[in-house]
Structures are given as structure tokens and as C-alpha cells.
Structure 1
């Protein structure tokens, strides 16, 4: 990353800019988290909690080498930083095809990717399908963006009629079209308020009856399919959405939902231990989020 890129990531995602000790496949090394991109490490990497405690939360970045476009790695950085500010220790697992699945996963984040990226991961993804479905049923919080959102559905039918199966965590199916839906997007969510992100997809996703959308959009030609004004989906603690941007830096309520659910499952309750300095940092990140949301909402693209 350039210095300018580091500054942007640090401001919007709230990443750490001081060195912290991490382990990569059992080897200790010192890195700056602002300089770490998804896919840099494989295996487990442990972040340092702001409070100095050691309440670990195991976070997985799913296929970061191939499913990580339009800034989706910022979602990982945001979760890590907010966990630390709340006094938890993030133990990172960057899982790519062929890797060993970790013994424990408390939260899973997946990003978007090109068609070539989806083809690379698909065999491994289906090999892990039963496990992922089981974790979703058990209430493990997950955030899946764009391409991974589609793969978590039932199937994707391409423009030429080819049908690609999904793993069926979300009751939804996707049909390809020639027209892309592109631009900044504001949706209304009953749980999270206004959600703001950036969509860029040609697939039209339709939710099955009884599946709740993440939110609703006002205009035609936007959201899941451009027709029914839905965007994203919510099943148990699994969220699927087309919103890149990154999503979580601009929408910390969703980040905190994922964190809260992960902590409740592991420890029985979400009990932040926030120092005065951490409180100041959380306030600063909220101001950045408000400004980023304002700018994005004012720009169609």
C-alpha cells in the first residue's frame, strides 16, 4: 500500500496504525495492521485487545485471495479493530482453498469476486458446504458480500442458461442479466436504520417467501433485482448483501451486530471493556462513518 492508501484505510476502517505482535502459522512477527491486507496470512493471527485482556474471538476471512474486491477487506479490518476497542482479542483465520479448517470459528466474513475467482474456489467451497450450513444453523454470525452472497443462495443461472448451484444457506436464487446495477445505494433497514454501500452486479437475486431482506430501496433498478425494492437477505445471524464499499466502516451498527452475536455465542453475553482512549477512538470512528455515509449518499456513483 502507498502512504495515501494506508491513511485512507486507517481513517475509514479504523485500523490500528501502531505495530502489534501477531502469529502466522505459529511464527511471531511484528506488522502494522493498516498495512495488512486480506490474504496476507494463512492460518491464525492474533490481534491485541485494547484492554490488554485475552477474551479471544476467532474470525474467519473466507477465500480472501479470490473473493475480495471493491474494498471488502475493510470489513475484516473493521471487525478486528472494533473487537480490540471492546476489549476482545481477534484470532484471525484467512481461509483459502486447500487450507485446513480451524478448530473454532466464531464469525465469518466473505467478499465479492470475479467469475474467475468463483470458479477457483467452488470445489473447495462445496467440500465445506455441510460444515458452513451447520455453523449457520448454530447461529454463527456471517457477512457475505456479492459473489459470496449469491453462492450462499440456492443457485445462479447465467445469461446463457447455465445453472450453478449454491449451498442453500439463504433461500434465494439469482438469474444473470446483461444490464449491471452500479452505484452508491441507500437502503432502509428495520434493525440497522439507513444502510449505505456500493453495488456493482448484473445478477438479479430473488428471495424465497419468508426470507427477510436486509433492507429496502426506494428506486427501481436497484438492490437485489431492480424490481421488488429488496436488498440483501437475513437468515438467522447470516447477512447477505450486494453492498461493497467497504460496508462495515460506513455501517458500524452491522459490525457491532456481528461482534455481539459472536461474543454472546462464545461467552454468553457481550460485555465490552472500553477504556477512555478506546471510547475516544470509537467516537472518532463514528464521526468518520457519518461523513463517509453523507458523501456516499450524495453521489450516485
Structure 2
């Protein structure tokens, strides 16, 4: 567990972030999402407390925002038992509007099921109404999306092909890249304040508006309100704009 305080002046409150399975499910830079949120909370004047939840460990006493990352199929198998130990808790959190960002492998485990390339079926939590099938072809490259949080950029690297059930809202619409399956132009899935996505990068440092959306919901749950500070996001915004311009120029 790590904690920090905002620079200058009293803290506006404490926000607890739970990072699920950082050893098994945190590849392609996904740990950067946790670090970005903790840093932005400090810059906004809040005190972040980051809990790393490992398989078999007690659940943290406080949680206001959950993060999960990508991993190999073997990593998903290693965390599945612990994930289902906390299934009712996680489903209740989701229904109550707790913000969550689940990337790649954890996105798949928050769905209905993941069918691995060798035919093994890994049941999911069913929070997101999606089903994923592994295949031999990987979907790799930069992505641009239109989402409710605005234009989002990232990088995908997955062999899972995900299909949304009827009525399941995607996280975004693909303007460049493959997305969930390379066919229907959807990317990720969203229900309540739970977002599942294939976007690595990590995704949050490149998308400050998305990061602050998650923090606004989390801080409101933790403290009863959201009082953002002034953050200079000019570097991130320039990088974001250049990626969009480069990818969509053709």
C-alpha cells in the first residue's frame, strides 16, 4: 500500500485505489494507469492510497476505484479463483456505481466467459455482457476511439476476439484500429461506471479527460464532492492530437 499527499495546502480528502493482481495482470504498461491516477489525485489536491491486491490476500478495508490490467492466459488462470472469491463484492460495487477500468485480460474476465485458443473455458464475472474467444491472429497497433469521455487514443495488442451481447454498450466506436474483434467497429464495453477496454499504452496518461472522469466519480464517492485543481495537460494533449492527426490523416 502506498500513500501520498497533494502538494501545498490541506488535503481535500483521501481516495483509495485498488489495483487488482499487479504481478499477474499488468503487462504492456498497464501499471502506468495506477501511477497516473495517483499522481493526478495529488495534483488535484487529494491524498491517494494505492492498494495492490494479490491472490489470497485480504480485501482492502476501503475502495473507491478499481483497476486491472492485461496478462497472458496463464495469468488469468492464476487469478481466477481469487477473483471469484470476491465476485459478489465486485458485482455489488459495479451495481453501486464504483468506477473501474479493466484492461485486456481483466476486461475479458469481467465478461461472461473467455474461451482460450486451446479450447479451455474460463468463466467470467458477468459484469460486462461480452464473450471472448482466443485465436491465432493478434490485433496489434494504435487505436483512436470516439467515446462518451471524448476522443480516446491507445494501443491494442490482443488475440482475443470479443463480441458484445445485444444491448451491451461499447466503450467506444473505432475510428482507427481493430477494437473488440476487427469487424463491428466497437471497442471495449461499459456498464454503469465500469469500463473494459483493450487499450494499453498505458491509456490514462495519454487521455487526461478519461482519467479525470474516473477520479471525479471516485472522489465523489470518497468525500462527497469533486474539487479539481488546475493541471497543465498541454504535453499530453499535444501528444494526443499528434497521434490522432497521424493516424487519421489518410
The answer, yes or no, to whether TM exceeds 0.5 is yes
Residue number in structure 2 paired with 1:214: 171
1-side partners of 2:8 and 2:187: how far apart? 37
Q: Deviations over 1:83-120 (max 9, x none)?
A: 11111100111111121111110001111111221122
Q: Deviations over 1:180-239 (max 9, x none)?
A: 1100111111x22211000001111111122211111135x7000111100011110001
Contact 1:197 / 1:296 at 8 angstroms: preserved in 2? Answer: no
Contact 2:14 / 2:223 at 8 angstroms: preserved in 1? Answer: no
Number of equivalenced pairs:
246
Contact 1:51 / 1:85 at 8 angstroms: preserved in 2? Answer: no
Question: SS of the residue aligned with 1:218?
Answer: strand
Residue 152, structure 1, aligned to residue 110, structure 2: yes
Q: TM-score, normalised by structure 1?
A: 0.78
Alpha-carbon offset, residue 288 of structure 1: 1.9
Cα RMSD, aligned residues only: 1.6
Alpha-carbon offset, residue 299 of structure 1: 6.2
Alpha-carbon offset, residue 126 of structure 1: 1.2
1-side partners of 2:120 and 2:75: how far apart? 17
Residue number in structure 1 paired with 2:234: 287
Alignment match of 2:67 (pick from 103, 106, 109):
109
Matches for 1:48-59 after TM superposition, within 5 Å: 48-54=5-11, 55-59=13-17
Alignment match of 1:178 (pick from 122, 136, 150):
136
Residue number in structure 1 paired with 2:93: 135
RCO greater where, 1 or 2, for CA within 8 Å and sep 6 or more?
A: 2
Report which of the two structures shows the higher radius of gyration computed on alpha carbons: 1
Residue number in structure 1 paired with 2:195: 239
1-side partners of 2:224 and 2:183: how far apart? 41
Unaligned runs of 5+ in 2: none
Alignment match of 2:214 (pick from 255, 258, 266):
258
2-side partners of 1:50 and 1:132: how far apart? 33
Q: TM-score, normalised by structure 2?
A: 0.93
